[in-house]
Amino acid sequence: MPASPVTRRAPDRLAALAQYKRRAGIYDAELALFEPIRADAIAALNLRHGQTVLDVGCGTGLSFELLHQRVGASGRIVAIEQCPEMMAQARARATESRWHNVHLICEPAAAAHVRGQADAALFHFTHDILREDAALDNVLAHVKPGARVVATGLQWAPPWAVPTNAFVMAAALHSVTSFEGLGHPWSKLARRLRHVDIQHALMGGIYIASGWLADR
């Protein structure tokens, strides 16, 4: 049998593809609880009209509306998602809303071909991507130095917060392929940023990490 996320030491792309294929039809409902976190994260990007933002691991495109409001029709949303089933829903969402400035890339973050340099990057509930150096290096190579970068997701709460950690465990078992780094999921990203700020929500089970991309 394949290793579980508890025992697996590194993210597993094939496991993630199977996992998100299963979740594609119910993903929007599953993420409903975390929509206030999404709004806070996008607000923290400090986007302006005309800018370009990377939506890394965009899923079904739930961030598109808020991002579009920030960058306007003159801006660009570059969305990266490796799961075809999730990307199909993201494409339908953009088409139905007539957001012609959404550019979709259906590739793993570590290999995504991104053109140009973005003004900001969002990693919303993308634990596996945040724990993969190759993915971070590839994505951030297409972000301007000094750009705003924000990441959110599950994290272990303090040991005494048993109910919170039970929730994190249950959520993580079907949303990540490795528990590695779940104590400080932002740590690899933080090494590439400056002036990093970490905020916590939902009794310590959720984090929002933000900072500015360091000069290369």
Q: Rounded CA gap, 76 and 62, in Å?
A: 16
Mean pLDDT for 189-201 is 97
Q: State the CB neighbour count (10 A cutoff) for residue 7.
A: 10
Total domains, the chain: 1
What are residue 166's phi and psi, to 5 degrees? -65, -40
Give how far Cα 165 sits from Cα of 91, 183, 200, Å: 34, 11, 14
How would you classify the pairing of strands 206-213 and 143-154? antiparallel
106 domain-assigned = yes
Helices (H) and strands (E) in the chain, counts: 9, 7
89 domain-assigned = yes
Identify the pLDDT of residue 1: 45
Taking 60 as the threshold, does the pLDDT of residue 192 lie above it?
A: yes
Identify the pLDDT of residue 7: 65
201 domain-assigned = yes
Identify the pLDDT of residue 215: 85
Domain carrying residue 152: 13-213
- Model-level pTM? 0.95
Give the CA dihedral 68, 153, 135, 139, nearest 10 degrees: 30
Q: How confident is the model at residue 33 (pLDDT cuts 50, 70, 90)?
A: confident
83 domain-assigned = yes
Q: What is the pLDDT of residues 117-137, one digit of tens each?
A: 999 999 999 999 999 999 999
65 domain-assigned = yes
Identify the pLDDT of residue 10: 85
4 domain-assigned = no
Taking 90 as the threshold, does the pLDDT of residue 146 lie above it?
A: yes
For the record, the structure tokens of 185 come out as 């999921």
77 close to 102: Cβ distance less than 8 angstroms? yes
5 domain-assigned = no
For the record, the structure tokens of 146 come out as 């000094």
CATH number of the CATH domain containing 40:
3.40.50.150
